[in-house]
Amino acid sequence: MAAKVDMDKVVSLCKRRGFIFPSSEIYGGLASCWDYGPMGVELKRNVRDAWWRTIVHERDDVVGLDTSIMMHPGVWAASGHIDSFTDPLVECKSCHLRWRADQIENQRCPKCGGELTEPRMFNLMFKTFMGPVEEGASTIYLRPETAQGIFVNFENVITTSRKKLPLGIAQIGKSFRNEITPGNFIFRTREFEHMELEYFVKPGTDEKWLDYWVKERFDWYTELGIKKENLRLREHGKDELAHYARACFDIEYLFPMGWSELEGIANRGDFDLVQHAKASGRELVYYDAEASERYVPYVIEPSAGVDRSVLAFLIDAYDEEEVEGEKRTVVHLHTSLAPIKVAVLPLSRNEKLTPLAKDVHKQLCSSFVTDYDDSQSIGRRYRRQDEIGTPFCVTVDFESLEDKQVTIRDRDSLAQIRVPVAELNKALEAKLKGETFDASPLWATREK
Ligand code: GAP
């Protein structure tokens, strides 16, 4: 089953409306690298903020961390990434394209049908050199996950945060993987952003916490607007578990290319802390003072991608509908994710309307991310705001000059209400929270 939205349509909207551009485009682009434009940067930020709010700020059992991308190479030896973070690579003997052996169906080149080489294990970590000498001893890696920065700081965080287990440590940051087959727009890229939580628990309680986090993370996506029917859970078979995992569930989304991983929630057991303790010689244990016990905690890890979430939110919100005989493309993003919350649109660029419209913009922009647009026809400006997902447009018209009222237009229902400029912030605040705003007798209501 494929999603009802074509990837091409989403890619084209992203380019047209300033969400996402090909990286280094004037040089012909760089494979699988993308730049976030003015709308994309706001959307991406809102996704990160929504995750951080739910995972860190709204809980008292999770703290945040921001660790460096480059780490001591010993970290990657201990974590198993040097030996095991590999994919099987095959090359076509005719056209020389390279493929992941485990993603090929009939063992012939998917492009030209040519014969393939025997698979060899290809390490996905990017290597570079630290300092001026390019030699083996100065080789370091760009991190392929943010998780290891958390594990190597476990002791620092436990001793400084004065918190008891279960305790989570959360981090958002860039990761790098030299993927053999990146693609599907921002779904699989070589540089991407992770949102990872390592939740440290007492062994024996790990299965309960795994179930807990699977549900929490599933609900996070639906609460932010993803339709339930486009999400499903899939448990990993024993043969596909990562080298560190005892169990793992994927939250899958129905992307245009079919059901694919959106987020993984793994039970990493004590693998990482034991490995780092062995390799570093530091004792990485937790002392439970109340029970007078010491143990190595187990870890439950919900690990999501910012970029992949952005893609899922955009695809799910994308819609084409007919309004009064005309096609309208609209992006029904959740209000907390929408790049622009309110657009102030004077009916026309007119010297009488402009001062009031500018005043309204000024009144709103310290409370809401607000756009001001007075170019082209009002219809075209509504279309643009619909395509970037702006939940509310505020229209200033000639009547506004007389009655000091403006019209709020709702992106989804297209309903319009008229409110006094003095009440506008209050009205928008309520509407952005999803509350119904009582356009009571105080305020004249006008349905179009
Ligand atoms: N620390 C565990 C870990 O990294 P993963 O399943 O490899 O687990 C977790 O990655 C999430 O990170 C994925 O579900 C996906 O959202 C995102 N992700 C992984 N590789 C990616 C890539 N090459 N491009 C974009 N996002 C990626």
Work out which ligand 1 atom sits closest to the CA atom of 309. Answer: 16
Q: How far apart are CA 250 and CA 214, in angstroms?
A: 9
What is the Cα–Cα distance from 369 to 380, expressed in whole angstroms? 21
Per-residue confidence band for 443, with pLDDT thresholds at 50, 70 and 90: very low
Residue 445 has pLDDT above 50, yes or no: no
Burial class (CB in 10 A: 0-12, 13-18, 19+), 199: buried
Tokens of 29: 């682009």
SS3 of residue 120 by DSSP: strand
Extract the tokens encoding 122.
């290809």
pLDDT of residue 274: 98
Report the alpha-carbon distance of residue 146 to residue 198 in Å, rounded: 10
Task: Give the nearest ligand 1 atom to 248 CA.
Answer: 6
* C-alpha to C-alpha distances, 270 to 2, 149, 167, 301, 428, nearest whole angstrom: 38, 16, 14, 12, 48
Tell me what pLDDT residue 341 has: 98
β-partners of residue 36 are: 20
Could you report the per-residue pLDDT of 18-47, keeping only the tens digit for each?
A: 999 999 999 999 999 999 999 999 999 999
Question: In the structure encoding, which two tokens stand for residue 372, read together?
Answer: 């001001």
Taking the C-alpha atoms of residue 248 and residue 237, their distance in angstroms, rounded to an integer, is 8
Instruction: State which ligand 1 atom lies nearest to the alpha carbon of 263.
Output: 14
Instruction: Tell me, rounded to whole angstroms, the distance of Cα 40 from its chain centroid.
Output: 11
CA dist 431 to 58, 78, 364, 391, 410, Å?
22, 51, 14, 9, 9
**How far, in Å, from the CA of 98 to the mean position of ligand 1?**
21
For position 440, what pLDDT does the model report? 58
Q: Which of 84, 194, 213 to mutate to test the pocket of ligand 1 (most atoms within 8 A of CB)?
A: 194
Token reading at 106:
């009939």
- Return the residue whose CA atom lies nearest to atom 15 of ligand 1: 305
Instruction: Supply the pLDDT for residue 70.
Output: 97
Question: 267 to each of 86, 357, 365, how far by Cα in Å?
Answer: 20, 54, 44
- The pair of three-digit structure tokens given for residue 396, joined into one six-digit string: 């200033």
Give the binding-site residues of ligand 1, using a 6 Å CB cut-off. Answer: 145, 147, 177, 179, 188-189, 192, 194, 196, 261-264, 301, 303-305, 307-308
Please identify, by atom number, the ligand 1 atom nearest to the C-alpha of residue 144.
4
Task: Give the residue from 206, 231, 207 showing the smallest Cα distance to 219.
Answer: 231
CA distance 87 to 108: 18
Distance 421 CA to ligand 1 centre (A): 46
> Is the per-residue pLDDT at 121 higher than 60?
yes
The CA distance from 197 to 286, in Å, is 18
Per-residue pLDDT band at 413 (split at 50, 70, 90):
very high
Tell me how far apart the alpha carbons of residues 329 and 389 are, in angstroms, rounded to a whole number.
10
Strands 191-201 and 298-305: antiparallel
Q: Which of 308, 309, 315 to mutate to test the pocket of ligand 1 (most atoms within 8 A of CB)?
A: 308
Q: Could you give the CA distance from residue 317 to residue 334 in angstroms, rounded to a whole number?
A: 8
Which of the four pLDDT bands, split at 50, 70 and 90, describes residue 439? low
- Mean pLDDT over 195-222 rounds to 98
What is the rounded CA–CA span in Å between residue 331 and residue 313?
9
CA distance 316 to 253: 10
Q: Residue 127 and residue 205: Cα distance in Å, rounded?
A: 38
Find the helix or strand (DSSP H, E) in which 142 lies: none
Return the percentage of the chain with pLDDT > 70, whole number: 97
Nearest CA owner, ligand 1 atom 19? 305
Mean pLDDT of 188-214: 98
Q: What CA–CA distance (Å, rounded) separates 297 from 206?
A: 9
Cis bond leading into 297, ω under 30°?
no
List of E strands, 51-104: 62-64, 86-91, 98-100
pLDDT at 137 over 90: no
The ligand 1 atom at the shortest distance from the C-alpha of residue 186 is: 25
> Is 140 a residue whose pLDDT tops 70?
yes
Query: Torsion angle, CA of 166/167/171/177, rounded to 10 degrees?
Result: -40
- The pLDDT tens digits for 314-364 are 999 999 999 888 999 999 999 999 999 999 999 999 899 999 999 999 999
Pocket test for ligand 1, best of 246, 261, 272 (most atoms within 8 A of CB): 261
Written as six digits, the tokens of 279 are 């390799």
